[in-house]
Structure 1
Amino acid sequence: MMNPAGASILAIDQGTTNTKAILVDGAGQVRARASTALSVSYPRPSWVEQDAAAIWQSVVQCAAEVLSTAPETPVALGISNQRESVVLWERATGEALAPCVIWQCQRGNALVETLKQPGVAEDVHRRTGLELDPMFSASKMRWLLDNTPGARQRAAAGELCLGTIDSWLLFKLTGGRVHACDMTNASRTLLFNLHTLDWDDDLLALFGIPRQALPAVQPSTGAVGHTAAESTLPAGIPIAGLIGDSHGALVGHAGFAPGAVKATYGTGSSVMTPVATPILSQRGLSTTIAWSSAEQVTYALEGNIYATGATIGWLGKLFGWPDAAATVTELATDCPDSEGVYLVPAFVGLGAPWWNANARGMIHGLTLGSGAPHLARAALESIAYQIYDIFAAVQEEAGIPLTVLHADGGASANALLMQFQADLVQCPVLASTSTDVSALGAAYLAGLGVGVWSSTEELIALQRGDSRFAPQMMADRRDTLLSGWRTALARVLLP
């Protein structure tokens, strides 16, 4: 085992709206931090994309800023990343050939609808643990191959690379020497078989994706390559941790044992709990890989929500609020009751547990007395309602009591939201005081990969205090609110 004293680990957290870099010491303390914002484009209704080159430059910028404070070169690098998003690039030059199609984008919906023939969705679910839905990567990959001039022929010839964000960053960091992704990211594509732990040839044929364009699949921890001088980072740093950001948050909370459950409050949200074996959900949850090593694969049940933080951003844009989060919180705090107003944020459809890509958003229960404060309250509460729906499904299917909910992400700092969440799930919510949970997860895996830490038990011992919110709401009040939410949902889900 490496002596952790003095060792530092660089971790990159590449998200939808920002990229972050942190420097973590052997005691799990964040010693330096940098972040930069990223823009998102909406070229057509339900299309969402980003500049792939800008994503890469944001990583370089943040890493350089953090490394400028490091007394010596880090012993390892870890990456957590936005999942399901897809980049298509040229193998010889490393240049992206199209914008990154990000996870929220629904441009693959037409293809997915044509594939929903008798038995197909069920077969896909058995193999991948996922719903046949355009959120996942496969339909995005197919769209890029079909709509980028010459891409299909060049991909078949091995000239192009297709991959998730971790594979794109790994390729750039290694100077084009490594085209690989980790199992957590692979398990979000609709192309990865949870049982064989490899790309599934039948699914590749179904979606028309050439295997030779895809990354090799690696464990989440363990060195898969080293930084190259052409990346502009110091050469030779082992890249020893790769993980999707939601999975990274589970690791960052040290949620290694069954019964742990976490909710990440970001642009969208993820609720995840580890399970010993791949449970195929009957309640609209995804079965996925929590994290993996060369010796062990840990699975998870997960529910994904398309719009949580994005709902607050939308409301701010609608009303012209420069700081939407602060304004929504202020208005909602002064408005103790939405007075029957519910906002169902199905802006690009509904994710788990409903999986309805055609659903669209709705505000339900407006009266002449409704105003901006009621909408602000309804927007904030919509986040907690969606998390509750998944929490309830996870608890039922995991078959074990979930006695605490770990919360992270920007909105987990909102005390009003966290209290309302605790009232709905009827168990304590532990809101992380760290803003770096996903990045910490990547750092932990990288540290395990090079021997800074030798076991997950050591990582559990590194955990520090969180803010605790206990349920306070009366049962009849909670039941009334949930009944109103279900009524609003039913209106949105009407065919």
Structure 2
Amino acid sequence: MILTIDQGTTSCRSLLVSSKGEVMAVAQEEFTQFFPHQGWVEHDADEIWETQLRTIQAVFEKAKVSPKEIMGIGITNQRETTVAWDKTTSKPICKAIVWQDKRTAAICEDIKIKGLGERVRERTGLVVDAYFSASKMMWILSEVPGARELANQGKLLLGTIDSWLMWKLSEGELFATDVSNASRTMLFDIHSLEYDEVLLTEFDIPRSALAEVKPSIGTFGYANILGERIPITGVAGDQQCALFGQACFEKGMVKNTYGTGCFMLMNTGTTCHQSKHGLLSTIAWANGEKTVYALEGSVFIAGAAVQWLRDGLEIIENAADSEEFAEQAEYKEHVYVVPAFVGLGAPYWDMYARGAVFGLTRDTGKNEIVRATLESMAFQTRDVLDAMSEDAGLKITKLRVDGGASANDLLMQFQADIITTEVDRPANVESTALGAAYMAGIGCGLWQQSEIKQLRRSNRVFKPLMEQKRVDRIYKGWKKAVERSMQWIDHEP
């Protein structure tokens, strides 16, 4: 049996997965989101650890399973979110800076002015953006009292959430990360699989503060759980785990995850492709023998826009109600919601774009706003899929989907319509957690990768039904709406 730790942007989850790939127990608990200033998003790393630990204890109680029965632990995590802690006390020195946080936009502009954009692109596969960890680390070192002094003493540790969890699970014995998480720091050379010394110097980040980088599949170290010492045998970022969980093992296979954000990855095999259309080149996973790469398009706001409908506008009570309201929408004029609450990701990469609603008339009501918000996920997915098809030089014939919003039939049908491509939803949409379990299972010898394909089953395949002329007209309106949202302010920090 495998214990999977799934640490997300808004909640912590733990799962127990049997040797047949069946989920035996799940425990989930949300934690606090902090928004101290405009554009800032923070988490309490101690609260994340305490919340995660409670879910671990809960799954053992639910399944009535002993830790002695666990062969390996898989960890998957929200990527780019950065934690800084004191090596001596194991206490965070500030709140964790979340991937959505935009406080370092000015730092990124300075990096671009220095002419480092091309090196970042060539070495890391990324674009210079506040999304990634490097500028967050730089901010902590310069703005948090005592951070630089701790770093000079070799006592400061800077890591993504996987590193923080492994440190806590191992009681301070293990300070590590995997290649997929390292590839999101904007400091890691994805070709040589080493931190880039020039970028470390330019961002003024000491190598001693960064975690040791290991393959995604294999033994990282040991966790101490309820008195048992259990090997950690699989670790990867959440989107890479979803690609693995969807069994996208062949070059050209694509998955899209509808979570807080929306993330599409294409397996490009052992070849690292440089995108010409605003996508990222990233490491999917490594097993010690080979490194698998991916093209990625990151949409910052997807499910978070539905949370905005619930918590910000208060026009729905539960996220699940969105489908019912959307079904009642009337289309006299098409309404567009561009959810650029924290800027726009791929393929636009505009840190200063802001959210907007277009096409409002006196007839527009909450049903139309809800539907337009759901449709924004599908439109943004189309943006990324078009860019990915051009970069890869092929037409994608099927999109595998997962994540919370993939359960919404109305959204999935509109997604198939707007991309004119089949959308394949698995029977178990827990692709991220299952991907971590599969990696850990392979890492501890429970499975072979060839067996994972047999574990994935489809729940439903949505086929495009909308007339092409209407698809073209609606999508043209979306592109115009995005263009206007990027023009609302002069692009100055």
TM-score band, normalised by shorter chain: over 0.9
What residue is the counterpart of 1:385 in the other structure? 379
What residue is the counterpart of 2:329 in the other structure? 335
Q: Is the CA contact (8 Å cut-off) linking 2:316 and 2:322 kept in structure 1?
A: no
Q: How do residues 247-262 of structure 1 correspond to structure 2 at under 5 angstroms?
A: 247-262=240-255
**Deviates further, 178-187 or 33-42:** 33-42
The one-letter code of the counterpart of 2:329 is C
Q: Pick from 487, 490, 494 the counterpart of residue 480 of structure 2.
A: 487
What residue is the counterpart of 2:141 in the other structure? 145
Residue 422 of structure 1 deviates from its aligned partner by 0.4
**Deviates further, 285-294 or 38-47:** 38-47
1:75 & 1:336 partners in 2: Cα distance?
54
Q: Does structure 1 residue 366 correspond to structure 2 residue 325?
A: no
Q: Is the CA contact (8 Å cut-off) linking 2:255 and 2:266 kept in structure 1?
A: yes
2:245 & 2:330 partners in 1: Cα distance?
33
Q: Is the CA contact (8 Å cut-off) linking 1:306 and 1:348 kept in structure 2?
A: yes
Q: Pick from 22, 31, 34 the counterpart of residue 41 of structure 1.
A: 34
Q: Does structure 1 residue 167 correspond to structure 2 residue 160?
A: no
1:75 & 1:321 partners in 2: Cα distance?
46
What residue is the counterpart of 1:54 in the other structure? 47
The TM-score with structure 2 as length reference comes to: 0.96
Q: Pick from 232, 235, 242 the counterpart of residue 235 of structure 2.
A: 242
**Deviates further, 69-78 or 239-248:** 69-78
What residue is the counterpart of 1:291 in the other structure? 285
2:321 & 2:16 partners in 1: Cα distance?
32
Q: Pick from 203, 212, 215 the counterpart of residue 216 of structure 1.
A: 212
Post-superposition CA distance 1:448-473 (Å, at most 9, x none): 1110013x211111112222111000
Q: Does structure 1 residue 448 correspond to structure 2 residue 442?
A: yes
Residue 157 of structure 1 deviates from its aligned partner by 1.9
Unaligned runs of 5+ in 1: 1-7
Residue 208 of structure 1 deviates from its aligned partner by 1.1
Residue 96 of structure 1 deviates from its aligned partner by 1.0
Residue 257 of structure 1 deviates from its aligned partner by 0.6
1:343 & 1:257 partners in 2: Cα distance?
35
Q: Is the CA contact (8 Å cut-off) linking 1:42 and 1:48 kept in structure 2?
A: yes
2:70 & 2:264 partners in 1: Cα distance?
32
Q: Does structure 1 residue 124 correspond to structure 2 residue 110?
A: no
What residue is the counterpart of 1:104 in the other structure? 100
Q: Is the CA contact (8 Å cut-off) linking 1:338 and 1:374 kept in structure 2?
A: no
Q: Which runs of 4+ in 1 moved over 3 A?
A: none
- Report the number of matched residues: 484
Q: Secondary structure at the match of 1:93?
A: coil
1:386 & 1:208 partners in 2: Cα distance?
35
Q: Pick from 457, 460, 467 the counterpart of residue 464 of structure 1.
A: 457
- Judged with a 3 Å threshold, the aligned counterparts in structure 2 of structure 1 residues 448 and 317 are, in CA distance, closer, same or farther, namely same
**Deviates further, 174-183 or 326-335:** 326-335
Q: Is the CA contact (8 Å cut-off) linking 1:226 and 1:235 kept in structure 2?
A: no
Q: Is the CA contact (8 Å cut-off) linking 1:108 and 1:139 kept in structure 2?
A: yes
The one-letter code of the counterpart of 2:413 is Q
Q: Is the CA contact (8 Å cut-off) linking 2:12 and 2:29 kept in structure 1?
A: yes
Residue 319 of structure 1 deviates from its aligned partner by 3.0
What residue is the counterpart of 1:3 in the other structure? none
What residue is the counterpart of 2:111 in the other structure? 115
Residue 118 of structure 1 deviates from its aligned partner by 6.0
Q: Is the CA contact (8 Å cut-off) linking 1:342 and 1:382 kept in structure 2?
A: yes
The one-letter code of the counterpart of 1:422 is A
1:187 & 1:28 partners in 2: Cα distance?
28
The one-letter code of the counterpart of 2:40 is W
Residue 395 of structure 1 deviates from its aligned partner by 1.2
Q: Does structure 1 residue 302 correspond to structure 2 residue 296?
A: yes
2:189 & 2:325 partners in 1: Cα distance?
47
1:152 & 1:121 partners in 2: Cα distance?
25
Post-superposition CA distance 1:100-147 (Å, at most 9, x none): 111000011111111112632112111111010000011111111112
Q: Secondary structure at the match of 1:431?
A: strand
What residue is the counterpart of 1:77 in the other structure? 73
Residue 316 of structure 1 deviates from its aligned partner by 1.8
Q: How do residues 250-289 of structure 1 correspond to structure 2 at under 5 angstroms?
A: 250-276=243-269, 277-289=271-283
Post-superposition CA distance 1:359-378 (Å, at most 9, x none): 11111111122111111111
- Judged with a 3 Å threshold, the aligned counterparts in structure 2 of structure 1 residues 338 and 102 are, in CA distance, closer, same or farther, namely farther
Q: Is the CA contact (8 Å cut-off) linking 2:426 and 2:456 kept in structure 1?
A: no
1:224 & 1:330 partners in 2: Cα distance?
46
Q: Is the CA contact (8 Å cut-off) linking 2:188 and 2:195 kept in structure 1?
A: yes
Q: Is the CA contact (8 Å cut-off) linking 1:269 and 1:304 kept in structure 2?
A: yes
What residue is the counterpart of 1:315 in the other structure? 309
**Deviates further, 34-43 or 352-361:** 34-43
2:26 & 2:136 partners in 1: Cα distance?
32
Post-superposition CA distance 1:326-359 (Å, at most 9, x none): 3322211111537221111111100000000011
Q: Pick from 388, 393, 396 the counterpart of residue 394 of structure 1.
A: 388
Q: Does structure 1 residue 63 correspond to structure 2 residue 56?
A: yes
What residue is the counterpart of 1:32 in the other structure? 25
The one-letter code of the counterpart of 1:408 is D
Q: Is the CA contact (8 Å cut-off) linking 2:309 and 2:316 kept in structure 1?
A: no
The one-letter code of the counterpart of 1:264 is T
Q: Is the CA contact (8 Å cut-off) linking 1:79 and 1:241 kept in structure 2?
A: yes
Q: Secondary structure at the match of 2:325?
A: helix
2:332 & 2:40 partners in 1: Cα distance?
31
Q: Pick from 340, 343, 347 the counterpart of residue 349 of structure 1.
A: 343
What residue is the counterpart of 1:4 in the other structure? none
Q: Secondary structure at the match of 2:158?
A: strand
| Identical columns (%) | 44
